Amino acid sequence: SQQGEEDPQALSIQEGENATMNCSYKTSINNLQWYRQNSGRGLVHLILIRSNEREKHSGRLRVTLDTSKKSSSLLITASRAADTASYFCATDATTSGTYKYIFGTGTRLKVLA
């Protein structure tokens, strides 16, 4: 399986602190995406980073990608209680023009007010 793995599985922080989540994957990829899932809801796309990019920002989100280590990190700065959710990385394991996104196991983030 090309499934990615997030680390840590669960994270609990105080409001205002930064939250860092890591994702490791097994094979070469074209791009990597991060998604957020609130409890009982569908996933929502946060950010996409391509294999030739090393860092990307979007608001309070910062994503890095190290293809040599097959890993990515998601940093949420100045966290808020509303950031409480599960976060998933998804790797694009495209072959022969067929796009298949493989998801990791997720990090459950809890931000305490």
Partner 1 sequence: IAGITQAPTSQILAAGRRMTLRCTQDMRHNAMYWYRQDLGLGLRLIHYSNTAGTTGKGEVPDGYSVSRANTDDFPLTLASAVPSQTSVYFCASRKGQSAGELFFGEGSRLTVL
Chain residues that interact with partner 1, rule: CB under 8 A: 1, 3, 30-31, 33, 35, 40-45, 48, 50, 88, 90, 92, 94, 97-106
Q: How many CB atoms lie within 10 A of CB 2?
A: 12
Question: Distance of alpha carbon 7 from its chain centroid, rounded?
Answer: 10
Q: Among residues 14 and 94, whose Cβ is nearest to partner 1?
A: 94
Q: Among residues 5 and 15, whose Cβ is nearest to partner 1?
A: 5
CB of 38 vs partner 1, minimal distance in Å: 11
Q: Among residues 15 and 22, whose Cβ is nearest to partner 1?
A: 22
CB of 88 vs partner 1, minimal distance in Å: 6
CB of 16 vs partner 1, minimal distance in Å: 29
Long-range contact set of residues 13-16: C-beta below 8 Å, sequence gap at least 24: 13/79, 13/109, 13/110, 13/111, 13/112, 14/111, 14/112, 15/79, 15/80, 15/81, 15/111, 15/112, 15/113, 16/78, 16/79
CB of 66 vs partner 1, minimal distance in Å: 19
